[in-house]
Amino acid sequence: MIKCFYSTEPVKMTILTFNHFESEVDSKYQCYLNNDDSDEDVKTMESMRTGWTRDTAKENPDPPSPSWHSGSIPRYTVTMGNNGANDAFGVFGCKATKPGKLETSISTTRMRSDAVIVPTNELFTQTVNINDTDVRIDMNLSTDVRIDMNLSTGNNLWNLRWQHNNGNIVSVGGSTFLIEGPIQLHDAGIYECYVRGNRSLAEHGLNVLLVRGEQLVSQICCIFKFSKLSLQLTIENCHIILHMYLSCTILIYTHKKKT
């Protein structure tokens, strides 16, 4: 058996965020490279918005490009001018590419200081394993919202909405979203809980679900063979396995020679 490996090692980075709960003011975040991945070796470093967390493209602007700072603590800094428009509300990060390593992304979550809905225990992320069951995403509501919605008597719970990766609403009502499972890779991403009609106000709760595990993607691998005058494409017995460790994707393929 011949084993062929693509790059399985990510670019090693750390992200530091200032004022997690003050997205309404000018803010910034920084991405630091490990000593093994110096700036000279990294091909590109980009800033990014991981996904929409409000209703329109204008409400979800991309962050500015990162600036490089050398010195005793080398780092990339992304400075977001909010302009009073909640531009710094959401999930942001850095994406690095380096020859011989995986394209790697790292992200951080930012919310308003006056948010009316926040993740329980102020946890912005949860990490689960593939095939886990009964995964809960819990949010806490401010006292004012509970009074306005009369939650003490259980009325008007339907005014809460849950959204996943800016897609269709996945749940109506309740401050807890339950994924009965088994958890799959497509369950990963950004979960939002907001009061109906108020998503654009950026006063709601965000939670990023990370799924780690292994999934069989394909049982077909293409191997090129040369003849004297032509290039023939032969499909042989091999498979591709996709591993996801936190936000890093690792591709490995194994090829079995014919006997």
Contact call for residues 191 and 106 (beta carbons, < 8 A): no
pLDDT at 240: 29
Alpha carbon separation from 29 to 4, 17, 109, 209 (Å, rounded): 38, 4, 10, 21
> Containing H/E element for 218?
strand 205-226
> What values do phi and psi take at 153, rounded to 5?
-105, 0
Global pTM reads 0.75
Task: Kindly tell me the burial class for residue 137, based on how many C-beta atoms sit within 10 Å of its own C-beta (0-12, 13-18, 19 or more).
Answer: buried
Residue-wise pLDDT tens digits, 188-229: 999 999 988 999 999 999 999 999 875 333 322 323 333 333
> Which of the pair, 155 or 113, is modelled with greater confidence?
113
148 pLDDT band, cuts 50/70/90, is low
| Interval 57-84 mean pLDDT | 88
Residue-wise pLDDT tens digits, 98-114: 888 888 899 999 999 88
Q: Which residue has the tokens 């920084």?
A: 30
CA–CA separation, 114 vs 23, rounded Å?
Answer: 10
Which amino acid would we find at residue 215?
Q
Edge-to-edge order in the sheet of strand 176-179: 117-119, 135-141, 176-179
Res 231 pLDDT > 90: no
Mean of the per-residue pLDDT values for the chain?
Answer: 75
Contact call for residues 47 and 62 (beta carbons, < 8 A): yes
pLDDT at 214: 55
Contact call for residues 126 and 135 (beta carbons, < 8 A): yes
The token pair at 38 is 């110096």
Res 183 pLDDT > 90: yes
pLDDT at 156: 58
Percent of the chain with pLDDT over 90: 41
